[in-house]
Structure 1
């Protein structure tokens, strides 16, 4: 018998590592908020975070910002506020209220990751990647296939 729960973990192989480490980091967590400016102020005033990037993504129906430590190191928090009542974020807020909306992982080749996932029967929300923050390419794994989490795949734009 084992003395530690970690001793009971069976090592697993990572089929993506053979393809060149396509999934490289947690990129950010997305937080849905009804008041964009108030959320930015909260993270600034309480955690000292700075707004590293801000934009309006009309296709997604959101105003968004990436906030984090001034150094820019590590994963960011993505503030997501709806532009209108029809946006996905507005619908999320109506159902759940403010809070964690998604987690994103950074990938080096979204097309290869998507091909791998779909070959394994994993459902994605879009048939092809869409435009994301700062020119990135994104897609989402259906929450039912990712343990109840809306999992975003992010391939940053060149130079980011």
Structure 2
């Protein structure tokens, strides 16, 4: 396992990217994920990425996050193998899951979120690259 990315909620990718570009980072991929209600922009940092998350509508979980908490770290994503098995194992141990089955995420990955109540207050995304 490794950290795949850190998701950061922003009001506007266009506005937020200036800081990261000043650091010398470059956006490598922009994608709209309708299922999640977000536009995403990825910036490569070593083996991991920073994912900027901009809501595309008011029903987006990221929109709700921004309204409640403001801009900032939204989630940490861990790349796993066998995401369905990992979810079953966590569920069997009483871990509270937001997604009991994986859904489509950016880059065509399968993703599922673990509720912050089970992780010490951090929204955790599990992701697996489809083979």
Whether 1:31 and 2:8 are equivalent positions in the alignment is yes
Partner of 2:31: 55
SS at match of 1:79: strand
Q: TM-score, normalised by structure 1?
A: 0.79
5+ residue gaps, structure 1, are 1-23
Whether 1:96 and 2:73 are equivalent positions in the alignment is no
Larger radius of gyration: 1
CA RMSD, Structure 1 to Structure 2 (Å): 1.0
Report the alpha carbon displacement of residue 74 of structure 1 after superposing the two structures with TM: 1.7
Q: TM-score, normalised by structure 2?
A: 0.95
* Higher RCO, Cα 8 Å, sep 6+: 2
Q: How many residues align?
A: 131
Structure 1 pair 39/157, CA: closer, same or farther in 2 (3 Å)? Answer: farther
5+ residue gaps, structure 2, are none
